[in-house]
Amino acid sequence: MDRITVGLEGRPYDVLIGQGLLAQAGEMLAPYARGGRLLIVTDTQVGQHVLPLFAASLQQAGIGYAAHLLPSGEGAKSWPELERLVDWLLSEHVERSDHIVALGGGVVGDITGFAAHIVKRGCHFVQVPTTLLSQVDSSVGGKTAINSAAGKNLVGAFHQPSLVLIDPDVLDTLPRRELGAGYAEVVKYGLIDAPDFFDWCETNIDAFMAGNPDARRHAIARSVEAKARIVAADEKELTGTRALLNLGHTFGHALEAETGYSDKLLHGEGVAAGMALAFRYSVRRGHCPTSDAERVSAHLEKAGLPTSLSAANVDTSGEKLVEHMLHDKKKSGGTLPFLLANGIGKTFLAMDVDLSDVAAFLNEERSR
């Protein structure tokens, strides 16, 4: 089993990664179960594929549970589902000292973490991520949120989990498209500051996609290490370090908004297209060699991911996409910083990007 500690000063927590860990979840969660009982938040798909094994493990450890099932998919990160979830927690007499369990992907983790933050002014929560995306990214770092009509993740809080339990075996039932979407966030860590990891991805993508256990374990552990290091350095995205994790997201979130947070474009797919766009825009501004941008797109495409507006099912003006971007939480004092790159593994925050130039670039991208 790998143990990676998120080294937040005064409140470190562990991320445990191990094949078959879910079968031991009951034992590991026993200290978190008040009166021998846990409140679990999950979704309808995870309820079918993962909850039975998880529940059996709780039962074996003598832990009872009550479960709340969200609808599966991005639509659940909404005000009505948040209200239903909070009402359910209150009806179950949740206490501040409780640890609510988020069993599912990034959607379940994001809304559960936010509900835990606001209910009774703050309860604890534990993340048991069941998608690749949530194992390598969303379960670690404490960003929690729902979407609002104005945009993605606009209502939320920083609220760190007490523990993260990752069992790579649960990915066996994950649909191939969802695996690809999570893979975009894996590749992101290589593109940010780890060119050797991007090389590893290029060499090992086939083994990884085929479910090779060593490749899975390496990709997950390396991603979690990177995320833990960056979060510990800048928990609340104040210094620019954590903003690096947003590579591809300013473009990507605009594409998600344009496709209505629907099955037309998953979050990870939006990030893939967003990273390809960020690299091509970096070439246009003279920061990045064309060959690096082409290498990034080729790799993402090998994973079946979109790297253009048309492949992301978006056919709209650059001006409209820039309007979505104006809701980005990185915007400050009228300036929207962009994550651009001097090359693979050389991402930086550019503070001088002219939004009319971004719109012109995106209009050119429409014919790609």
Binding site for ligand NAD (CB under 6 A): 43, 45-46, 49-50, 72-74, 77, 104-108, 110, 130-131, 133-134, 137-138, 141, 143, 153, 170, 173-174, 178, 181-182, 267-268
d(C-alpha 321, C-alpha 363), whole Å: 10
CB-based contact 276:308 (threshold 8 Å): yes
Helix axes 195-209, 290-302, angle to 10 degrees: 20
242 makes contact, choosing from ligand LNCXM5UN, ligand NAD, none, with CB < 5 to 8 Å by partner type, with ligand LNCXM5UN
246 versus 307: smaller Cβ distance to ligand NAD = 246
- Beta bridge partner(s), residue 125: 100
- Which candidate, 108, 93, 97, places its Cα nearest to that of 49? 108
Show contacts with ligand LNCXM5UN in window 64-123 (CB under 6 A): none
Q: Is 108 annotated as contributing to ligand binding? A: yes
Alpha-carbon dihedral of residues 111, 116, 119, 123, nearest 10 degrees?
A: 180
- Non-local (6+) Cβ contacts of 280 within 8 A are 293, 297, 361, 365
List 38, 224, 245, 272, residue binding ligand LNCXM5UN (CB under 6 A): 245
Minimal distance, residue 2 CB to ligand NAD, in Å: 19
Q: Where are the alpha helices (DSSP H) in 154-312?
A: 176-193, 195-209, 213-233, 249-258, 267-284, 290-302
CA angle, 284 as apex, 280 and 287 as ends, to 5°?
90
Show contacts with ligand LNCXM5UN in window 322-351 (CB under 6 A): 329
Site pattern 129..148 for ligand LNCXM5UN (x: CB under 6 A): --------x---x-x-----
d(C-alpha 257, C-alpha 24), whole Å: 39
List 249, 280, 299, 324, residue binding ligand LNCXM5UN (CB under 6 A): 249
Q: Does 159 bind ligand LNCXM5UN (CB under 6 A)?
A: no
Annotated binding site: 72-77, 106-110, 130-131, 143, 152, 185, 249, 267
Can you give the binding site for ligand LNCXM5UN, defined by CB under 6 A? 137, 141, 143, 152-153, 185, 242, 245-246, 249, 329
